[in-house]
Amino acid sequence: MSLDAYLGGDNTPEPLANVPTECYEILRHPRRLRILEVLGSRGSRLPVSELTTELIERSTTDASNGHVRHSVRVSLVHNHLPRLETYDVVDWNDDGISLVDEPPVDPADISLLLELCDAENAERMLETLVDPVRMRLLSLLEDGDRPLSLEQLAARLSALDTGQFTDQSNAKVALHHSHLPAMADVGVISYDHESRLVTRYDHVASLI
């Protein structure tokens, strides 16, 4: 069973279950998420100038600021659109940009990530949390109203026959040294290194 397929031991699909793992990289920036949101809602090909306007209007930035418009346009042309095109998510030509007919990432599948886009540290949170293991950990921590121990989390992950998490000891090492500290650093969980208890903060309950 793939680690990306299900949450814990039940058969509940995880939030990004329909998104190929290889596409997670493009979901780790708020502007790319907003691009997908705009293209999905408009349902038509947009010129770069119109897409730029839409993105600015969906932010708190002054749309009349010429410097801001230039900065957003440059980021689209030289960064975000080429990445989305590389992953066959958008079709980009002289007439503008649109989603491909059957994109590997559907805007409907990223609604929970869009909730993070307005956070003060949105880019850092997305970079940290858009990961199969970390999304799963948030879901596991939501299942109960009590903290879970490192051992409990490792056992649940190792129950899924996949990669480094097949072995519970390896799972504990990866969680303790990598995943849990990173998630605690962006403020979505609390991890006590002495007791090795993990608690999910209430303010992230809506993400999963």
One domain for residues 202 and 139: yes
Measured CA to CA, the distance from residue 4 to residue 189 in angstroms comes to 21
How many structural domains comprise the chain? 2
Final residue in a domain of this structure, among 97, 118, 139: 118
What b/e sequence results for 136-150 when a residue is b if at least 16 CB atoms lie within 10 Å of its CB, and e otherwise?
A: bbbbbbeeeeebbeb
Q: How confident is the model at residue 5 (pLDDT cuts 50, 70, 90)?
A: very low
Task: Residue 181: give the domain boundaries.
Answer: 130-207
| Of residues 89, 69, 189, the one with CA closest to residue 136 | 189
One domain for residues 33 and 105: yes
One domain for residues 114 and 136: no
One domain for residues 114 and 29: yes
Nearest 5°: CA angle at 30, between 132 and 64? 175
One domain for residues 158 and 107: no
| Of residues 208, 163, 168, the one with CA closest to residue 188 | 208
One domain for residues 152 and 98: no
Q: Would you say residue 7 lies in a domain?
A: no
Phi-psi region of 90 (alpha: psi -120 to 50; beta: other; left: phi over 0): beta
Q: Would you say residue 12 lies in a domain?
A: no
Q: pLDDT above 70 covers what percent of the chain?
A: 85
48-57 and 30-42 helices, crossing angle to 10°: 110
Nearest 5°: CA angle at 91, between 86 and 92? 90
Q: How confident is the model at residue 116 (pLDDT cuts 50, 70, 90)?
A: confident
- The sign of the dihedral angle between the CA atoms of 124, 128, 132, 135 is negative
Instruction: Please give the C-alpha separations between residue 133 and each of 13, 96, 129, 130, 188, in angstroms, as whole numbers.
Output: 14, 36, 9, 9, 14
One domain for residues 59 and 107: yes
CB 136 within 8 A of CB 186: no
One domain for residues 30 and 96: yes
- Give yes or no for residue 4 having a pLDDT over 90: no
Q: In this structure, which amino acid lies at residue 146?
A: R
CATH number at residue 203: 1.10.10.10
Q: How confident is the model at residue 86 (pLDDT cuts 50, 70, 90)?
A: very high
Measured CA to CA, the distance from residue 199 to residue 50 in angstroms comes to 43
Q: pLDDT above 90 covers what percent of the chain?
A: 57
Identify the pLDDT of residue 61: 63
Identify the pLDDT of residue 65: 77
Between 127-131, 158-162, 178-182, the lowest mean confidence (pLDDT) is in 158-162
One domain for residues 151 and 104: no
Query: Per residue in 29-84, pLDDT tens?
Result: 999 999 999 999 998 999 999 999 999 998 866 656 789 999 999 999 999 999 99
- What's the chain's average pLDDT? 86
How much is the average pLDDT of 201-205? Answer: 67
- Give yes or no for residue 158 having a pLDDT over 90: no
pTM, rounded to two decimals: 0.80
One domain for residues 28 and 66: yes
